[in-house]
Structure formats: structure tokens, C-alpha cells
Chain A
Amino acid sequence: MFELNRRRVLRGVLNGGAVTVGLPLLNVFLNGNGNALADGKPMPVRFGTWFWGLGMSKSIFVPKTTGANYEITEEMEALRDVKKHFNVLTNLIAYRDGAFFCHYTGWVVARAGASPVLNNQAPGETVDVTIANQIGRSTRFKSLTATATGDVRSVVSYENATTPNPSEASPLNFYTRLFGPDFQDPNAPSFTPSPRVMVRKSALSAVSDQIQELNKKVGAEDKIRLDQYFTGLRHLEQQFDQQLTKPEPLAACHPAKAPKEDAKLGNLAELVQIRHNMMTDLLVMAVACDQTRVFNMAFSNASSNTTKPGYDKPHHTCTHEEPRDENLGYQPNASWYVRRSFESLAYFIGAFAKVKEGDGSLIDNVLIQANTDVSNARVHSLEEMPAFTAGRAGGKVKTGLHIDGKGGQITRMSYTAMKVMGLDINSWGTKSNQASKEISEMLV
């Protein structure tokens, strides 16, 4: 039986030279992709993470009551306008289970499910990677990772123990990667597949065979690295396929123009926020244009080096050296920094809420989890950890709640996210951090 598949169609198209392909032909390409953006089908649910460093000030952060009618607290004030879009989680624990790395263990437990045994080496892949392997394979980018720190060395995502996913740190570079010459505007009136892309793909297959020879020369650990390379090649081929395919129109997709100039370097909170917002705008549009379904954004590193104008201590140093103000009951400058982080979180959530998608907005079709490295940064405590989730995950998740974790594992948050994103697992994490119960309060 004759089967009309993507490869066969393209071969036909390209042998005939470059032709403009009309729309009706293209629906056939979308089969099998899980791409269900048209014809009133449900929008895909996307997953993202957001990171901020150095916890919070318990006395002015933790809401007094739980559930939907909690009062926004002083430190969370910036989040007031987007309250209906997120949940705040408090009183969660990351278990050390042995070694302890002051600003590393906490966030790695939350994202990788186990306590790291080496500093700067994750115990395994992070939750975004696990989810991207499930839902991110059909898009142009399996996932996107961006940071507001301006430093490409910032890490919040691990492909495996020794392979961090590199962070986009420059808005200009990020723009070019997303919306530069290789971007296919799904709403463009016509579509011309490039014959050069076709031959490029063919040439790539000529070198991918070379992996076999290399494999014979290396040990088990390096075989894994060659295998990663091979996976990367497959992904490149997939990107070429997508460039040869007319994308389905997306009403929500309106890429902005390239930034006129790159964001200024610098650690001043204001500069970090500007970079954060530029990166966020790009990321949100990449999601709206279905370039990726998994994304990570970091406001700062765990040992945040954000600075405050006229104050000589960067955030991290401040948390350790600033005395607690007896009248206020917290460290005022440390809290100043945390509030700047939450202003950016509010921007992040708001940016998804602003983009109309289907009957609602993008925030209805995402699940974002936000976490940090410690609860009380001054003493690196991993008890009473705060976290947030944002978005309704296509109607599967409730928002607007304060959920008291009651001293439960912080890994339950990622476990819940994985279940919501459709992973068939019964537990996640290791030792004391092994979670097998969802956070039921947030599930519809």
C-alpha cells in the first residue's frame, strides 16, 4: 500500500526543484507528532522551571492561612497581581542524605530527586530533561534554558550528571537562535522548502556513520558521550525536517523584532531584571510559536551575586553578613534582594498570562515550577523550603492557593509535575527524597 509520509513527499518536492507548497498538503506532516494545535483540539501542555537564589524571609513570606483565600505577604507583594495564576508552597524539605553542599544540595534535590554526592555534579538528569524526553521531541528545540545572570556558566538543568544544559545568557544571541534566519514563521503566507537543507541533511548522515568507528576505541563512560552526540545529530536532522515542512499557523505566535542591542552586563538588580525580562519575552514567544514545550529560566544563581545600588554586599554575602534587624525580625537587605527576585517572577508569570491562546491565555496551558536553593540562606537550611507553581496545565492544576507542605519532601513538586505531564511513574527520587505522593491540593 502506498503510504504518504514526510520523507516521500519531500523527495518528490525537491526532485521537482523548489516549489511553493500549499497548505492542504501539510496536514499530513503533522500526523504522529502529537501536534494538535489546530481544529479546536486541546493545546499542548508545556512545562517550565524558574529559579531564584537564596530562599526567603520566613516571618514576612509565609502566608498565615492556607487555601485560596490567603493574604499575599509582605515579601510576596510583587506577586499580588498574578495571584490567581500561581500556588505558593511552603514548609517543604530537601533531605541531605549524606554530603551537603551549602547552596547546591537543596535545589538539586528539588530538580534531580536525589542529594548530590559531589559538588557541581548532579546525581542525574533534572526534571525538565525527564519531561522534555517525554513531550519535547517533536518541537524544534527539545528544551530551552535561559539565565538573567549574563553568565553562560549558570546551570539549572542537567542532561545527565556531567552534562549541564548550557544557558542562554545574551538576549541578542538568544533572539538569533530562536527567530533568526532558521526560524520558520508559522503564519507566513507562503512556504518554500530549501533544497539546500535537504542536501545538508543527507550530508550529515554520511558523517554520522563515523560514530561506529569511534565507539570501538573508547570506554563505557565515553560511549555515553558519543551516544549523546548521536542523539544530537538525530535532533539536527529533525530540525532539518521541520525546516522542510510548512508549519501549521499559530494565532499566538508574534515574534518581536531583534533587540537593537544586547543587554548590559552587570549584577545590579535592575540590570538583572532587564535581562530577565528580555529573556522572558523571547522564551514566552518561543513557547507561543511552539518552538519548544519545555523551558528553564533562572533569575540568579544559587549563590546569587546580584547587587544593590550603593550597598557593598552582593546578595549571597549579604545573607551571611547582614545582622537580623531586631525590630523587623529579618535581614532587611537580604529581603530587598528576594523581593527583586519575586518582581521578576511576577513578570515571568504575567508574560505567559498576556499571550492569548485558544479561549484563554498561555498560562492556562503551562505548568511552571519555581524553586530555590535554601529556605534561610544565612544558615543554609533545607527545611521549611518555599516553592511556587504557576499555570493550569491545560486544566489539570488549580492555582491561587497557599499549600502548606507540612514538612513533606520537596521532591513531591517535581513528582506531581511529571504525573501532570503524563509520565507513567510510581515514584521519583532516591533515599529520603523518594516521592510517591502527588501534592493533591493542587490537582483538579
Chain B
Amino acid sequence: MSEHPHDQPHLSAADLDPLAGPGERLEIERIRERLAGESGERFWRSLDEVADTSAFQEFMRKEFPRQAAPLEGSLDRRGFLKLLGASMALAGLSACARPPSPHEQIVPYVRSPEQMVTGRPLHYATALLDGGYAEGIIAESHQGRPTHVDGNPDHPASLGAAAPTTSAAVLSLYDPDRTQGITEGGVARTWEELFDTIQSALEASGDGTGVRLLTETVTSPTFAALLRQLLAEYPEARWHQWDPLHGDSAWAGARAAFDDDVVAVYDFTAADVVVSFDADFTNRGPGRLRFAKDFSRRRRIRSADDDMNRLWMAETTPTPTGSIADHRIALAPADVAALAAWLAGELGVDGAPTAQLPARVDPAWAQALVDDLQAHEGRSVVIAGHDQSAAVHALAHALNVTLGNVGETVRYIASPEAVPGSHAASVAALAEEMHAGAVSFLVIIGSNPAYSAPGDVSFAEAMRRVPLCVHMGQTLDETGALATWHVPQTHALETWGDARAHDGSVTIMQPLFSPFYGGRSELELLSAMLGDGVATAYTIIRDAWRDQVEGAFDAFWQRALHRGVVEGTQAPERDVSLRTLDVQLPVGSDLVLHIVPDHALQDGRHANNGWLQELPRPFTTMTWDNVAMLAPVTAEALGVTSQDLLVVTTGGASVTLPVWVQPGQAPGVITSTLGFGRRAAGRVGNGVGVDLYPLVPSVGQRVRSATAERTRGRYRLATTQIHHSLEGTGDRRYIVRAGTMAELRAEPEHPTFVHPVVHPPSDILPNWEYTSYQWGMVVDMTVCTGCQACVVACQSENNIPIVGKEQVLIGREMHWIRVDQYYRGSVDDPTFYNMPMTCMHCEQAPCEPVCPVAATVHDHEGLNVMVYNRCVGTRYCSNNCPYKVRRFNYLQYAELSGNATELSLASNPDVTVRSRGVMEKCTYCIQRISSARVQANNEGRLIADGEVVVACQSACPTEAIVFGDLSDAESLVSRTKRSVLDYALLEELNTKPRTTYLARVNNPHEALAAETRQG
């Protein structure tokens, strides 16, 4: 390798043969050998730890330099908040602008008080949309102000779970960068003026010639009905759809397999074996939260008697789902397809394309997979990922049919989408017409194609050729800026609507308050296009449903709103017949660029949400940036290491991305994420990261042959866990404890992997006698996927501020709960371990005796409480905390009354907003405990088990967190703690944490068990 890396010759894909021999700077091979020599007990956190050679240490020990004086940057980041104060008065006015009509009634979910009780929140069932599909939520409202969102346990797509984006919705709701009025070229206009403009444009078009509509995925029956009505009235008008994350290949795959617009609904509770071809089914796609709930219910291991499913995962980039897989292999996208085809061939799928087993796949591994599927016919699920080609989807469908899973674990229903189809083709067709000048009047609702359309359709360019373009969106985004008219769109929490879930169930969405920044519903816009400019979303929805309901409408309405789902709307099962497959497998390349959505920002629509920008992404713990993720061997071949800059070129376009070397990434693949590099997201999201849409093709998968070249310079990446040399950290820390079902069954009473060393308690003083509740928590590491949903839920519930990239770089992030990441095994295919960490509420808390002002003390219910008022900020407590879960307000991170913006309205009024100079940490959601205690005391009873649900527990899609009263021997948490898998972290310190962990259990196939132990 060259002395001056930036001088090195252009590196093509052909240079990247990992077998070409060890590089001079990197000696991945030696690490691999070292790991091979380990007993298999060893955990490691980063590549560096296992690196023992001086060359590798030199390679990896490039710490990111921390610049002095973080202040300026951080103040800049925070500075915007101060600027927002000025817009406060205006916002207040606009909030008053449209008082709710007296006849619009919304119905509380939990209780129906005759009038609001001051200080007591109300809860409403409604839904948020993810990719157009409804995910049921329970929104909490304090005095008419939505503050928190939980999943709706009654909703089939949620079952109570919440994704990071779900919990973050309240912050987006109050986003001061949302637009507050209709504008034409920046000039304020009225609704009536817009109405007249639309009507005259439609009139001019006659039968709709040149009229085009662009929406995102539509599942709303009412919206779809209005659209169809519009298209019927203007037969020459066309409706296009563009959602960059739409499952185009899932649609095409179903077409290829069944020649029908069907979608699969999986029942993971009935599946013993799950084979995932790059499907992060617990985090992406319709039904993700439901699938997470169902899947984890088959992995709730408490004793050797419990049964466990088995997940086989072949994926390109580490995903939360893959992190808990029993067998995981990192494969390039084309290899995933080849594996799917090979498997289909082995299992006798008709017309399966012939494929060789990819070189990375051990034949024994593949054979075990075949055996496992054959042994579980009708009790398995094969699922293909969103980034996989239609061929893999078709193969997955065919495998499910062949294995007899259809009707057992897989159910097919008609697609809940109003018009199923390929969005990429749809937007490309629209852009072509626009370029040709055939579009005279374009209405864009919600979608942001000027930013998110594939680079090769040049949508922004095309928009300049459209004389009249009405854009409806929540912010004046990239598309809004190019449109003639902009109409502020209402947030899902402030308008009426309806939408279908992944299984077809409809939710009638109710607003929690009148539109905060003004704004109009898309239903109102469509209605205006149909000539009715006065109809409100409420009347439109109500009228639409009145026509469909037989019997007492008001009773139906009450019930539907109350439950958050309309009964009986679940789609019926559809018979499918498998065609003989005729699919083309994608062709791989030695180096490909693989573009996936960001875990938090998704397609970029959440870019202005600070909670999501600062959310540590799974495994990388990256915040505020996207990266080029490389496997260690690929990094070695390219001669780069984390935080180097890499120029990635594909299809004539190129981007410069910081490198992140990720164990478990497929070799020969550069993975990077969408959603960054926004130009008009707002003050938080603008210019964060790099925009990859220019590299997205409009045809085919987002996997493209690419070249990459190191370029001059380094880039500081703000991760919340630093990655540095760890050699010699010792193998006897016993932080993560993990074993297999076989090991558990071999030692059902005292599994050695749970308690490798016995630490007898050594107390001088007697324990405190508790006379009331004793709160405690258990975290089940077997099901924790590290999806970070708990982090955002906690942030929303507990008013946790964001601090900005500069402060994260220094190590001052404020999250009360974090997910620690550990690895075991080889750097190429490691096993991932996720360990949520929050205050342990130690019975003998080291923080308590060292505080000179008694600001952190133990309460009578066993909580380690933090008295903010009393804290003077010595920070000794944090130094003495072995778990380092305490967070200090080094600067004024939270908004105080002096500098409050609209965002402060998202604050939970039951939780103190902390000022600078005080320590804070997890309280076990003490406000929820208090509220339950008050309620119970009023009713003269004890708090029942399950009555207090803490925020992280509530959100967790896999129910990995159990909380409750330990003094009640029959509470769920007490019973869970009696599991043989229960252990206390750092128990040798005798801190007696109230939060304990259930050791991670995996269920490897018998034929591969020995190999798995070897790692």
C-alpha cells in the first residue's frame, strides 16, 4: 500500500478480492486466527480488541481527535433554539386560527371523564403511518397537548409496541420548521384563492389532460375513494405514487409468484423455523412491530422447559433482527439471492433458477438449513427483505408454498394498498411526462420527490417544466421550494383520517387537537379538487364511513375511535396458486454499493427530528451522520479505516462518505443509508450527512456495482460508544452471558454460562426491611434486537434533551437508556449481543454515599432517586457508578422558560425539566409509579401487577423489558427473576442492582452447535 494513501491509484472492484492476500497495513487474517484459537467464551467489542499485531494496532488506533472548546459548535447547534423564540407569538396565533367545530367530537381511549381533570392526561387511540400503513398508537394528551405516543395494544400492527419513529412523532408535531400558511411563490395566500386556482386549472384541462397527482403509498379507503372519484371525473388525469421505501420488489415478487397483487401476512407465533433472506422484519415494512411481538413470543426463554424458534439469517448489513439470529451469515445481495435459489432448488421448487451455493456459505451450514426446513414443514416461514430483488421475494413465496406454510404460518391477503404497483416505475413515468412538457397541473401530496426521487429521473429538473404545481407537505421541503403553491399538511396527530394496517384492518385516525400550525388534511385538498372547498376532514371521514355502516352509526363511531381499529375490516385470506417461476437472479459484482434506508430517519422524512438524528444507530452507535459501512476485509482491500473518507462512484455519480468498518458486514459491499444530506429539511436536518438519492437507480435494486477510492482527509464520526484499542481488557469481566438451548438443557438448574463464577453476598450491615412496593426490572437479552425504540420512548417520556453532534463527540449524550453492543466470534460473521443499560437502582448504590449534599438517595420503594433541586453538580456519583448510567447537564441542554420554543410543548408536564449543572438518570419512570399509586390509594387498593408500565418497556417491540413490584412474589417481574437465566451485572461489586438480566440464549441447529460454540 502506498505511503500516501490518497495518492494510491484508482482502485477498481477487481482489486478487492479478499483472497488476494493479507494487506500490509491490516492483518485481519491474524485476528481471525486469534479468534479461532479462543475457547469461544470470549466477547469482544470492536475489531481493535482482538487485534494483537502491531500493524493492526497502528491501523486501528487512530482515535478521532477531539478538538478543544466544544462550546462554539455546540452553541451553534443549540443556538437555533434561541432563534425560535421569536416565532412563538406567531405560532400561538396560528394555533388559535382554527378552533374545532363544535360538532367534531373525539373520543378518549382509557377513561371518558365528563370533563378534563387538571393534571391528568387523556389517552386517545389513533394511528401513525409508516410507509402508508397504519400502526396503531395511544397518544397521551395533557390539557389538550399531545406529549407522548405508545403503541395501541388492540391494534393488529402494533400490539402495544412502538418504533423509534413512533415515539418521535410528538417532536415532529411541534417542529417549528413546519410551515404555517398557504403560499404561492413565498407570498401568503388563502384557502379560497387556492381553491379558485385549482378549480380554474382543472377547468382549463377539460377532461383532466395534463393533470397529474403524486401521492405516497395510499391505504386509506376514504382517500382512495376520493381519488377514484377524481379520476372518474377527469378521465385523462393520472395518479402516480412515490414513496422511496415502498416495497416495489415485494409487489413484483408476489406478481411473479402468483400473478396477483397479494401480500403475505406472517404468523411468527406458529413458526418454529424462520429463514430470512435479508429481511429485517422486526424493523422494516408493513407489520414490523407485530412481527417483532410475535417472533419474540417464541423466544421467551425462562427455563430449560421452554421452547424456542430458530432464526436463520442471511443478510448484507447487520440489522436488529439479524443480531439475535441463531445462525447469521453476512452475504452480498447477489449471494443472498443465490442462496435463496439454491435452497429453492434443494427443496424442489418448480422453476427455481439453478444457482451455486455462494462461496461464503459453508455446505454443512446450508445442509443444516435444508434439513431444518424439511423437518418443520408447515411450521416455518421464509421471508425476503425489502432490498432484495423480486426474484428473491418470488423464491420466498415459492418456498413457503412448497414447505406447506401457506395457511399455517403464512396467510395471503389482497394488498391493502389502494393501487399496488411499482413506485419507481410510477415516478419515472411521471418525470418523463413532465420532461416532455405534457404535465400542466401537478398536485404532490406528502411526497418529496425533488429530494427522494432516483437520481436518474431528474425530478427537480422536471418540476421546472410544470406551469402549476401544488405541493402539500408539512414543511417547505425540497419539493415545496420548487412548487408554485405550497399547502401546509396536517400531522397525523392533528387531523382526521383513516388507513389500513398490514393485515388490512382499518383505523379511523382522530386528531388530538386542532392543527397546531394551521394546515390542511390531504382529504380536504382532494375534496377541494372535487369542487367542495368547505368540507373538513371530519365530515369527509364521517360521511365516508356512514355509507358503509349498517345500524347505529354513532355507536360504531364511538367503538371504532375508542379501540383504534374498526372491527371486521381485517382482510380475508386470498387463495393463491403458485406459477412456475421465471425469475432472473441478480448478478453480483466484486464491489457493490448497497443503499438502504436509515434506521431512524428512514427515507429522510424524519431528518428534522433531533431525537432521531441523535439516536444511536444499532451496532454503530452512530449519530448525526451516514457512513460507508465496510466489512473489515473490504476496508483492508481499500486501504481505509473508520473515519477515513471514501469516494464511491457508481453509474457516473459519486459521493464522498466517511468510512465505518463494521464487523458482520458482507465483504465486497459498501452499505450506506438514505435520509441524509437534506437541503430543505429544517434547521436541525439541513446538511446533516450525505445525500445518496442521486445514486439510487430508478430501475432495479439499490445495489449497484461501484468503485471506491480513498480520498484526502478524515472525518469525525459521533458515536456514543467509542471504538478503540481494547487489547488486554480481559476475558473475565462476564458482562454478557450467553449460551445455547442445548447448554441450558444440559444444566437446567445452574447453567454455567449464566454464573461462571459464584459471588457469595458479603454484607456487614443487615438489609433494609421494605414494607411497601419494591420496584425492579428484568431485561431479556435473548429477544433484545437493539432497535433503540426504548431510547426514543424514554426521551419523549422523560423530557431528555438532545445535545448535538459536537457534544456527542465529546461524550455528553443525555440518553437515560442506551443499548450496549458486544460481539463474539469472528470479525466477518460475529454474533451480536445487545444489552440495554439504564440506571440499575442498586440496593447498595455506590452513588448514594458519595454525594455530599444527599441529592441522590434511596426511597422507601427501593428506587434510587435523584433530587435535581438539591444537586450541586459535584459529579462524584457518576464517577462512582460502575454502570456509568448517569448523565450530567454540562450546558443548558434543555429548554427553560427563557429560551423555550414550541418544542417544549412536547414535554411531559409530570417530569421536571433539568437545568444545567445537575445530574440526571433513569428514574424507573417514577411519575408513572406515582400516578398509579395515587390512583390505587384513591381506590383503597394496592397497585396491581402490570399497572405501572415504564416507557422503555411499553415501547419495546420484543417485550425484552419487564418491570414491576418485587415484593409481590407472583408479579411477572418476580416470576421472571426466578428464572435460572437471571443474573446481576457486575454482581461482584455487591451493588445488588434491581435491574437484572436474563442471559442470552440461542438455539443453533444440532448439526452446527459445536461449530457455533467455536465461534
**Bound pair (A, B):** no
